[in-house]
Chains A and B, each alone.
Chain A
């Protein structure tokens, strides 16, 4: 039972670490002023390598689960690189979306999840 407890404690600490990292990264960038300008016309997001990157990350994580050995949760040689790629991609995505929102006209434009 103490094994499991240690495992879950580790998981909990890991989650806190992740949250901390997310906080630090999301804190970048300064305050934004409200410039209520009417929309000037259609804009479209530029090309991005992130969809390919994140798909690769997801596929690696999936392969990690498929190729697990014995009592593992997932195969670390596939799942860990996959997780790193996926998370890096997700972070870059959210940052790019925030960046685009701030650069494009203003105001009432969506600042929610990325395109």
Chain B
């Protein structure tokens, strides 16, 4: 029962389930709301992707006229980024961060709820364009002067602006909440350098949101003023500068992509050590790499604008290449974690390994794009579409699924079915590569992005067909996932407190946790407090990576042999 002193009536009468979820300020429920809401938008935006791929499978206009097609790719991008991938990771953050810190809730629980509820409403506003003459159709990047009232007079673009402004404000409030919680509500003994890596990535992500999103808000307001009150920010016909929009948008937009990827990296950094039965290799390097990526992300925005002719190419090219270094350090840390580990290939681990390989490919195409000579050739082609999907989808979305399989037992008390999970993974992995790998070649051979049709003489038909097959495979892979989730919720295998033998504090309480999270906290002397509670004597150990596995297995060697088999 909620141990609240403020609402003496709470819990003493039966409250309806709907009212309970509508009025909750519990970070765990709010986290689940974020996750469920995000997946709903994922399916909507995924449906739009299937429309796009169906149209592009063969040359000729199949069933989407150009304007409808433009709305489809605009809404696909906008919804996927702002209403799926960022919020779902924020949802996992909401659920898990207070638990990993040993805290009872977030710093500002009611503002936490407010941040959530703005999301479905903002998303509905954005989508409602379809009801009022057409949704926004200028690409998720909204370049001027296409977005001006001259070229896009409908209300759909205004709804896009307002919806994004609301969603952005919600993000900023969430960021304030996370930063305050992480700095002020850690359990005793948990110094900053003993926090789980997932918490570090959320901290840096929240800082990026705090500093970058307001710039987008300023740009959106300026665009709204241009469109509605006769402003002259961006439209050259009235003296404005379209490149200004690009600067403002990408100053936000580049940190945004790190906002999208860092929490997923954090998830993978939680999963790999647990499923390799080894500590994370290079914890400190990982923390510094994360902070470095955060800082550098503000210095590279103009690499999205190389071809405008108004950008100082050497600086931005250099900084973009530079940011590959801390990212590479993380890659080596992950590999170092896997090396000589006792790998357990359960579904969370499969998605994490998928993350590593797919993000690597996306990272390589990114470094290629950092080079202006290459970028000049492939800017605005499918090469960029390939790159962004390998990092967003192959990176973040694989991370999202990894997080889902990993933390589902904690949130619901039941473990998802392993065979179904593996089916989901493999169909998803193969479908993903079929869908997006050919796009590298399509871009190199000149296929532009955001086109609804192409000539049969271009030689692009076969690769487009393959890509469409892949896209539908991804859609099909969702079926075992949904069956798994529903069946497990109805009648799944009970999970217990710590089904994976984790290292961090969320596994030191029941599944799901009580409203106040912890009855008692274990002593915290390292970044793996639970590991040392289970395997050690709670000794203060500052550098667990110095310890060899065998030393830790002391009193119950038999248990350690037994557990890995249980997990698969």
Q: Hey, which bits of chain A sit against chain B, CB under 8 A?
A: 42-52, 54-56, 58-59, 62-63, 65-68, 93, 100, 103-104, 114-115
Instruction: Kindly state the separation between the CA atoms of A61 and B306 in the bound complex, as whole angstroms.
Output: 38
Asked whether, in the complex, the Cβ of A46 is within 8 Å of the Cβ of B117, the reply is no
Contacts of A47 in B (CB 8 A): 7, 10, 20, 23-25
Q: Which of B152-208 contact A (CB under 8 A)?
A: 155, 158-159, 161-163, 165-166, 169
Tell me how many residues of B have a C-beta within 8 Å of chain A.
42
Interface SS majority for chain B: helix
Contact call A55/B516, Cβ cutoff below 8 A: no
CB distance from A95 to the nearest CB of B (A): 13
Partner of A44, one of B114, B162, B166, B516: B516
Residues of chain B touching chain A, judged by Cβ–Cβ distance below 8 Å, are 2-7, 10, 20, 22-26, 104-105, 107-111, 113-114, 116-118, 121-122, 124-125, 155, 158-159, 161-163, 165-166, 169, 224, 228, 515-516
Please give me the residue from chain B that is nearest to A49 by CB atom. B23
Tell me if A66 and B6 are in contact (CB < 8 A).
no
Contact among A52, A59, A68 with B228 in the assembled complex (CB-CB below 8 Å) = A68
Could you say which residues of chain A place their CB within 8 Å of the CB of B110? 45, 48, 50-51, 93, 114-115
CB of A55 within 8 A of CB of B114, answer yes
Extra A-B contacts (17), CB below 8 Å, given A42-B104, A43-B5, A44-B2 = A43-B3, A44-B516, A46-B7, A46-B10, A46-B25, A47-B25, A48-B25, A48-B113, A51-B111, A56-B121, A58-B169, A59-B125, A65-B158, A66-B158, A100-B6, A103-B5, A115-B108
Q: Which residue of B lies closest to A89 (CB)?
A: B114
Q: Which residues in B have their C-beta under 8 angstroms from that of A49? A: 22-23
Query: Are B6 and A43 touching (Cβ within 8 A)?
Result: yes
Question: Can you list 30 residue pairs at the A/B interface with Cβ under 8 Å?
Answer: A43-B5, A43-B6, A44-B515, A45-B4, A45-B109, A45-B110, A46-B4, A46-B25, A47-B25, A48-B23, A49-B23, A55-B118, A58-B121, A58-B166, A58-B169, A59-B118, A59-B122, A59-B124, A62-B125, A63-B159, A63-B162, A66-B155, A66-B159, A93-B110, A103-B5, A103-B6, A104-B5, A115-B25, A115-B109, A115-B111
Residue from B20, B111, B162, B515 within 8 A of A66 (CB atoms):
B162
B169: A residues at CB distance < 8 A? 58
Residue of B at shortest CB range from A60?
B121
List the B side residues contacting A58 at CB < 8 Å: 118, 121, 166, 169
Chain B contacts for A51, CB-based, 8 A: 25, 110-111, 113-114, 116-117
In the complex, what residues of B have CB within 8 A of residue A103's CB? 5-6
